[in-house]
Amino acid sequence: MLGKPKIAVVGAGMVGSSAALKMAQKELGDIVLVDVVEFVAEGKALDMAESSPLDGFDVALVGKTNDYSVIKDSDVVVITAGVPRKPGMTRMDLLMTNAGIVETISNHIRELAPNSIVIVVTNPLDVMTYVAWKVTGFPRERVMGQAGVLDSIRMRYFVAQELGVSVKDVQAMVLGSHGDQMVPLPRYTTVSGVPITELLLPETIERINDRTRKAGTEIVNLLKTGSAYYAPGAAVAEMVEAIVRDKKRLMPCSVLLKGEYGLNDVFIGVPVILGKNGVERIVELKLTEEELKALHQSAEEVRKGIADWEGEKAKAAS
């Protein structure tokens, strides 16, 4: 990426705007916001820009209502647009509504930003990432879903709280789909290099695992009228930073597997190396039989969602 990177965020709701502000504060590049709601993108971009003298960041922030021309030649496009979950809804309940939104956006990306790297945040995350990949026609290295990064930082926080240690010393690894079937890996979750299996009782670890799986739902139930946005926004910024600054970070992301972990043609969260080319390498961890089984079960949920979407597409075409 020569010069200052251009980052587009499609969807200026709470997740999109939180991500945009975080990226601006990190000076990751010039940022454009697009939203269908009249003047929301313009208003939020201006509000963020006006904070720059105090926050000390020097990047351009532009917002547009329903004008996709501003994403032209973007280096990275983040898709956050979609209907958020409400209490009692699962991520899969959102499937068909949000698939239509992601399809429209992906068509614009293919036409206007054909060399971009796409990060999908819209739920149900893994299925929506598959939709974006199918519609753009991009190679798998350039389309990914933000799943495990968010799930892992949530687990890191829960572990730190349980042990009374700094969050800076905790690393976590969460694989699988971004939903109730996600697969936290305590063996690969550490405090300054020490696995939490050496520091916590099995029942405590299982409680943390369960809270990690339900972390998004916990916030939805508390907020009543929306879903999480600060942590998802921070997770997006972390991924974009790894890409535009070629950090070669190892992060769990939802990517298309072609035989890795014994899975094919499905997007699921696994560890990858993120750099300037997007997904530069998929890392295959040595999983126990139980962990691998859980990952495959998680992938089956995603397959069902993909089949539902493709079935509706086939009906519409006939």
- How far apart, in whole angstroms, are the C-alpha atoms of residue 129 and residue 265? 12
Q: Which domains does the chain have, with CATH numbers?
A: 6-145 (3.40.50.720), 148-306 (3.90.110.10)
Phi, psi torsion values for 260, nearest 5 degrees = -65, 140
Q: What is the pLDDT of residue 1?
A: 61
- How far apart, in whole angstroms, are the C-alpha atoms of residue 34 and residue 112? 14
108 carries an active-site annotation: no
Q: Cα dihedral sign for 44, 45, 50, 56?
A: positive
Q: What is the pLDDT of residue 111?
A: 98
Q: What is the pLDDT of residue 273?
A: 98
Residue type, 49: A
Q: Of 154, 178, 213, 303, which one is the catalytic site residue?
A: 178
The CA distances from residue 278 to 69, 89, 115, 144, in Å, are 23, 32, 11, 8
Q: What is the pLDDT of residue 313?
A: 83
Question: Which residues in the chain belong to E strands, given as ranges?
Answer: 6-10, 30-35, 61-65, 76-79, 117-120, 143-145, 170-171, 174-175, 183-184, 190-191, 194-195, 249-258, 264-275, 278-282
The number of beta carbons lying within 10 Å of the beta carbon of residue 210 is 13
For the chain, 318 residues long, the average pLDDT of each consecutive 10-residue run is: 88 97 98 97 98 97 96 98 77 82 97 98 95 98 95 98 98 94 97 98 98 94 91 98 98 98 97 98 98 97 93 83
Token digits of residue 155: 């687990």
- Helix 125-136 × helix 289-317 angle, to 10°: 50
Taking 3-state DSSP, the helix, strand and coil percentages for the chain, each rounded to the nearest 5, stand at 50, 20, 30
Q: What is the pairing mode between strands 194-195 and 190-191?
A: antiparallel
Burial class (CB in 10 A: 0-12, 13-18, 19+), 2: exposed
Q: What is the pairing mode between strands 30-35 and 61-65?
A: parallel
Alpha-helical runs (H) found in 26-124: 40-55, 95-112
Q: What is the pLDDT of residue 43?
A: 98
The number of beta carbons lying within 10 Å of the beta carbon of residue 135 is 19
Q: What's the predicted TM-score (pTM) here?
A: 0.95
The CA distances from residue 107 to 35, 61, 127, 201, in Å, are 16, 23, 17, 49
Choose among 131, 91, 90: nearest CA to 107.
131
Q: What is the pLDDT of residue 87?
A: 72
Place of tokens 């990690």: 212
